[in-house]
């Protein structure tokens, strides 16, 4: 995922959390907030310590970034998104595979667009 498609500053995360909307599923929470410009969508990832060790958290972040990158053409532009992983996601992804993770991401994106 390119740098222009990432949220990196804490004030951007705060804006999405405070002024945005959210939807959740068993394993993921998606926050989004529309920006004034019509630029490309930007994603920030939040994987809390409750999800697992640093190795586990970094692995799930890499997998989520890749799943997001493959769906970037279907994500509405002009918005910032923060995807929060919930405990249990790494174990479920390991047991069911990367395609399953993509389906969970599609599920939360579908709820957000409804």
pLDDT of residue 65 exceeding 90, the answer is yes
pLDDT in tens, 36-57: 888 889 999 999 999 999 999 9
Token pair, residue 13, equals 């995360």
pLDDT of residue 23 exceeding 90, the answer is yes
Of 29, 67, 26, 69, the C-alpha closest to 46 is 29
Of 79, 69, 27, 73, the C-alpha closest to 48 is 27
Token pair, residue 111, equals 């709820």
The pLDDT of 11-16, averaged and rounded, is 93
Domains and CATH numbers, the chain: 3-113 (3.30.230.10)
Token pair, residue 68, equals 């997001």
CA distance 21 to 79: 11
């Amino acid at each position: 995922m390119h740098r222009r498609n990432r949220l990196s500053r804490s004030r951007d995360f705060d804006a999405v959390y405070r002024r945005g909307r959210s939807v959740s599923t068993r394993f993921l929470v998606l926050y989004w907030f529309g920006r004034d410009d019509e630029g490309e969508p930007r994603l920030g990832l939040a994987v809390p310590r409750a999800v697992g060790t640093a190795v586990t958290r970094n692995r799930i972040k890499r997998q989520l970034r890749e799943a997001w990158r493959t769906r970037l053409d279907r994500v509405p532009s002009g918005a910032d998104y923060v995807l929060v992983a919930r405990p249990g996601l790494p174990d479920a992804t390991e047991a069911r595979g990367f395609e399953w993770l993509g389906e969970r991401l599609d599920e939360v994106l579908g709820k957000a667009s409804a």
